[in-house]
């Protein structure tokens, strides 16, 4: 029996706007002034329902900026939120990152956030003509651990047109190292 009540309450929760609309239409018939008040209060409550989401987004931005690299499952544990909600937020952030200094990538079914300093260091060593292995070695301090991460960072930056052409090619860099 309790499960049926949960289903009923969830259904009401999902359809609250339609139910309220029907109630307001009924009230309009009997008292238009009361209907106007109900509509005003409803709009205010509806707008107020977005405030917690805005606070969460700001809190998430501040939290992410503390780490050179952080994965979605760790963020979910720190915030004590479902992984799906964190992934949805990171997906939204990743859709609007063309002009941002940080980077969010999707690798192995998880989102990874990279801090601005990590991306700047990546661009710096990439432009010097370093190979993937050398880039990986130089980014160990920034918690970048695999070549797959290097590849996905490069691909994402190229896709977002945030990575310029190399100043020195990999071949030229290797020749400099060999003859130096």
User: Would you give the distance in Å from CA 143 to the centre of its chain?
Assistant: 19
- Note the pLDDT of residue 49: 75
The pLDDT of residue 128 is 87
Q: What does pTM read for this prediction? A: 0.71
pLDDT value for 151? 93
The residues of the chain scoring below 70 in pLDDT are 1-2, 9, 12-13, 180
> Which pLDDT belongs to residue 2?
59
Look at residue 115 in the predicted model and tell me its pLDDT.
Answer: 92
Contact 139, 95 (CB under 8 A): no
CA distances from 16 to 5, 6, 13, 97, 165 (A): 16, 15, 5, 35, 54
Q: How much is the pLDDT for 42?
A: 80
């Amino acid at each position: 029996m309790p499960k049926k009540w949960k289903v009923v309450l969830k259904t009401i929760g999902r359809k609250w706007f339609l139910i309220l609309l029907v109630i307001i239409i009924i009230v309009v018939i009997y008292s238009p002034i009361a209907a106007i008040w109900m509509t005003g209060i409803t709009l205010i409550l509806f707008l107020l329902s977005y405030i917690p989401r805005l606070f969460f987004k700001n809190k998430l931005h501040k939290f992410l900026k503390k780490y050179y690299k952080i994965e979605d499952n760790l963020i979910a544990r720190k915030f004590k939120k479902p992984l799906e909600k964190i992934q949805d937020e990171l997906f939204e952030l990743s859709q609007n990152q063309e002009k941002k200094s940080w980077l969010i990538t999707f690798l192995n079914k998880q989102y990874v956030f990279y801090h601005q300093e990590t991306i700047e260091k990546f661009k710096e060593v990439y432009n010097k003509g370093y190979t993937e292995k050398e880039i990986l070695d130089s980014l160990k301090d920034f918690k970048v651990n695999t070549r797959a991460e290097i590849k996905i960072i490069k691909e994402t930056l190229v896709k977002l047109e945030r990575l310029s052409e190399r100043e020195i090619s990999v071949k030229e860099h290797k020749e400099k190292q060999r003859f130096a």
